[in-house]
Amino acid sequence: MITALCFYFFSNVLILSSLMVISVQNSIYSVLFLVMCFVAAAIILCLLECEFIALIFIILYVGAIAVLFLFVVMMLDLKLTDATKDAFKYFPVGGIVGIVFLIEISAVILNFFKINPYQASALANYYSNWFDIIDLFSELEAIGQILFTSYVSQFLIAGVILLLAVLCSVVLNMYTTKHDTKAQITFRQLSRSYREVLLYKN
């Protein structure tokens, strides 16, 4: 009961925040509502026991992409414009695209539920409770068990390649800017006197 109430609550939060993303005038508020969309979707995925995808939503989308959008919007300093004039101009094209997406999503949802051929009604869907049949361990445990047993060598090779990429980029930047950089000599800074500073300024 509590899981169903949480699912309906966060579903409504997701729908409302997604509508606010495209309807709000301020770009910063739009990015913040986009973050709320990602968080609500991650909570819904946690309720559906898809922990890996929920963590990807939080780490990748909220922690990287949404924050990058927010920094870009804040650095560009976009001016607020009146978008109500252009709303009616783009409404026919947007309406057609929205109707096409709605038809595609409806077709996917209707084809997902297999119709039971033994029942006369075409609206009766055949449902198998796979949650009670194969719900033995979580998704993260399954991915971790496969990743660190069967594919542990590939996982370590990928980590070494990423480490080498970071080290190579640092070393290349150090050698290319070696002659242009000014090194900080701490002993010379601490041993100078007050009179030398005044002479240097004059």
In a domain, 99, yes or no: no
**Range from 16-25, 124-133, 140-149 that averages highest in pLDDT:** 16-25
Structural domain tally of the chain?
Answer: 1
pLDDT digits 0-9 by tens, 165-189: 888 888 887 765 555 556 677 777 7
In a domain, 75, yes or no: yes
In a domain, 124, yes or no: yes
pLDDT digits 0-9 by tens, 3-23: 888 888 999 999 999 988 888
Q: What is the pLDDT of residue 120?
A: 47
Q: 133 falls in which pLDDT band (50, 70, 90)?
A: low
In a domain, 152, yes or no: yes
Residue with tokens 């929205």: 98
pLDDT digits 0-9 by tens, 50-86: 888 888 888 888 888 877 877 777 777 666 555 556 6
Q: Would residue 81 be called left, alpha or beta, if left means φ above 0 and alpha means ψ between -120 and 50 degrees? A: beta
Could you give the CA distance from residue 59 to residue 70 in angstroms, rounded to a whole number? Answer: 16
In a domain, 181, yes or no: no
Q: 160 falls in which pLDDT band (50, 70, 90)?
A: very high
> Residue 30 contacts by C-beta under 8 Å, 6 or more apart in sequence?
20, 21, 22, 24
Task: For residue 48, give the nearest of 112, 160, 119, 138 by alpha carbon.
Answer: 138
User: Residue 1 pLDDT more than 70?
Assistant: yes
In a domain, 138, yes or no: yes
In a domain, 6, yes or no: yes
Q: What is the pLDDT of residue 194?
A: 67
Whether 121 and 131 have beta carbons less than 8 Å apart is answered as no
Q: What is the CA radius of gyration of the chain?
A: 28
Q: Measured in whole angstroms, how far is the alpha carbon of residue 175 from the centre of its chain? A: 35
Could you give the CA distance from residue 180 to residue 157 in angstroms, rounded to a whole number? Answer: 36
In a domain, 86, yes or no: no
Domain ranges, residue 123: 2-81+113-176
Could you give the CA distance from residue 65 to residue 42 in angstroms, rounded to a whole number? Answer: 15
**What is the CATH number for 162?**
1.20.120
User: Residue 93 pLDDT more than 60?
Assistant: yes
